[in-house]
């Protein structure tokens, strides 16, 4: 199991290579979320929902996966160097080019590993299905990866990857396989985004304009160029988050998309390690709700076939390793209808002007939908005490009630949402918008 300290170590390790991505907010979407979860405005004061989006689409290679790939590459590189130096039969200094990291992937992980290997000076050997989209093939090749193509089946991917590894080992290379999510080093790397999110959230209490970006790094001592006393434009008091006592959690809920579970495993471990009071929710489309059923049964379930969701980054099933982390640290998995995912994606594009991928929109979709689609289809949902079946409306209203009982007159419920990436096939998404009349 990955620990909180593993993630802290990973953050120190990868920070020189990764982008410290910003956290973005939007008042209009806050208002939509508040209305969806608490109803239309009334005369009496009511709770307010505040959303903060961790912008991993602005990460290197356009996706969060660069974090996990970088952590894995750096650890394997350090281990290979130590092994070389400890072996008296090895002559000369260790060269990073003697390490080959191998994976099979047609998505963001392939590009992430290729980029991470290039930055570290080692070799990336990537097995890709021959029918992978040309832009993804070109991107992986552009990072210098050595690509081997195979038939588009899991069996072909795995057998080809093994053959590639065997070939490099025969040539005297140190070879390591880097799984997209079923690896502790990758999970620890993905958890680093949650550490940053928790550190950035308090900055949103500073008054600002209608949209807000938390400063990616603490202020420096550099002199300003005449702007020191210039007030920010916009409705400051309305846009600022309420100041919280340091005894309160910086966020009430964190939502992360879930496919194979590497991100959710790392994020949930980091969040619970930092503050166990924060609720962690996994979000997935209802058309591929295998993570929800895996979480409920304690056994890895396979996604429906063929997949019909636009969220092509969330089609992979959990592994026993990621399910173990999720069952330990996640409070629930919520599914959203496909139409609601598309509506949320449209809001991200049009209101926030952020070209995120469909998989990134599932978090906001669960908020605006309110209920848990998969749970709503089960007869057992009549038991409202089973929190593992709750939707976001249940969670948010529960938190708001506790704050009201504690004496807060206008409680503020803060939700952090992870944007997984921004590698979008725009034409495909636009066609789906048209299919749903959006």
Task: Enumerate the domain spans of the chain.
Answer: 4-63+187-216+234-435, 65-181
Pairs from 229-238 (Cβ < 8 Å, separation ≥ 24)? 232/207, 232/208, 233/209, 234/208, 234/209, 234/210, 235/209, 235/210, 236/207, 236/208, 236/209, 237/207, 238/27
Fold match, 4-63+187-216+234-435 / 65-181: yes
Alpha-helix runs per DSSP H in 87-191: 108-120, 134-142, 154-170, 184-190
**What pLDDT score was predicted for residue 225?**
52
Helix (H) or strand (E) holding 236: helix 236-239
Whether 65 is catalytic = yes
For domain 4-63+187-216+234-435, give the fold. Rossmann fold (3.40.50)
Distances (CA, A) of 183 to 114, 125, 190: 17, 18, 11
Out of 65, 136, 343, 403, which one is annotated catalytic? 65
Report the predicted TM-score, pTM, of the whole model to 2 decimal places.
0.91
**What pLDDT score was predicted for residue 233?**
42
Out of 72, 105, 106, 420, which one is annotated catalytic? 106
- What dihedral do alpha carbons 321, 322, 327, 333 form, nearest 10°? -160
CATH classification of 65-181 is 3.40.50.1100, yes or no? yes
Which residues are bridge partners to 335 per DSSP? 284
As a whole number of angstroms, the distance between CA 128 and CA 110 comes to 8
Print pLDDT tens along the chain (438 aa). Answer: 999 999 999 999 999 999 999 999 999 999 999 999 998 765 467 899 999 999 999 999 999 999 999 999 999 999 999 998 888 888 788 899 999 999 998 789 999 999 999 999 999 999 998 888 787 888 899 999 999 999 988 889 999 999 999 999 999 999 999 999 999 999 999 999 999 999 999 989 865 455 666 655 555 555 555 544 444 443 455 667 988 988 999 999 999 999 999 999 999 999 999 999 999 999 999 999 999 999 999 999 998 888 899 999 999 999 999 999 999 999 999 999 999 999 999 999 999 999 999 999 999 999 999 888 777 766 454 456 788 899 999 999 999 999 999 999 889 999 999 999 999 989 999 999 999 999
Whether 106 is catalytic = yes
């Amino acid at each position: 199991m990955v620990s909180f300290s593993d993630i802290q170590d990973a953050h120190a390790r990868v920070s020189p290579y990764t982008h410290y991505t910003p956290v973005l907010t939007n008042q209009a979407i806050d208002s939509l979320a508040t209305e969806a979860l608490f109803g239309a405005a009334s005369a009496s004061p009511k709770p307010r929902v505040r959303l903060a989006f961790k912008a991993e689409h602005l990460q290197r290679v356009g996706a969060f996966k660069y974090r996990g790939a970088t952590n894995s590459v750096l650890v394997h590189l350090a281990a290979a160097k130590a092994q070389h130096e400890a072996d008296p039969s090895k002559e000369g200094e260790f060269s990073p080019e003697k390490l080959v990291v191998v994976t099979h992937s047609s998505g963001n992980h392939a590009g992430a590993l290729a980029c991470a290997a290039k930055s570290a000076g080692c070799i990336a050997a990537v097995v890709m299905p021959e029918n992978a989209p040309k832009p993804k093939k070109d991107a992986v090749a552009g990072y210098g990866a050595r690509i081997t193509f195979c038939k588009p089946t899991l069996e072909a991917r795995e057998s080809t990857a093994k053959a590639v590894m065997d070939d490099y080992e025969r040539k005297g290379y140190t070879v390591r396989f880097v799984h997209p999510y079923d690896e502790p080093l990758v999970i620890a790397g993905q958890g680093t985004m949650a550490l940053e999110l928790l550190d950035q959230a308090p900055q949103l209490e500073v008054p600002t304009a209608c949209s807000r970006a938390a400063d990616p790094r603490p202020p420096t001592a550099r002199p300003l160029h005449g702007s020191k006393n210039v007030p920010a434009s916009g409705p400051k008091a309305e846009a600022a988050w309420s100041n919280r006592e340091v005894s309160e959690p910086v966020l009430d809920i964190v939502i992360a998309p879930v496919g194979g579970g590497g991100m959710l495993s790392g994020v949930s471990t980091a969040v619970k390690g930092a503050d166990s009071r924060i609720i962690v929710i996994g979000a997935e489309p209802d058309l591929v709700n295998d993570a929800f059923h895996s979480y409920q049964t304690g056994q890895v379930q396979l996604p429906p076939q063929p997949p019909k969701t636009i969220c092509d980054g969330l089609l992979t099933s959990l592994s026993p390793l990621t399910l173990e982390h999720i069952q330990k640290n996640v409070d629930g998995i919520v599914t959203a209808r496909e139409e609601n995912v598309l509506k949320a994606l449209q809001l991200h594009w049009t209101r926030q002007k952020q070209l995120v991928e469909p998989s990134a929109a599932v978090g906001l979709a669960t908020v605006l939908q309110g209920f848990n689609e998969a749970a709503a289809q089960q007869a057992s949902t009549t038991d409202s005490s089973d929190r593992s079946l709750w939707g976001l409306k249940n969670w948010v209203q529960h938190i708001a009630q506790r704050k009201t009982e504690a004496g807060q007159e206008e409680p503020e419920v803060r939700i952090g949402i992870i944007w997984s990436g921004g590698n979008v096939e725009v034409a495909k998404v636009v066609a789906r918008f048209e299919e749903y009349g959006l």
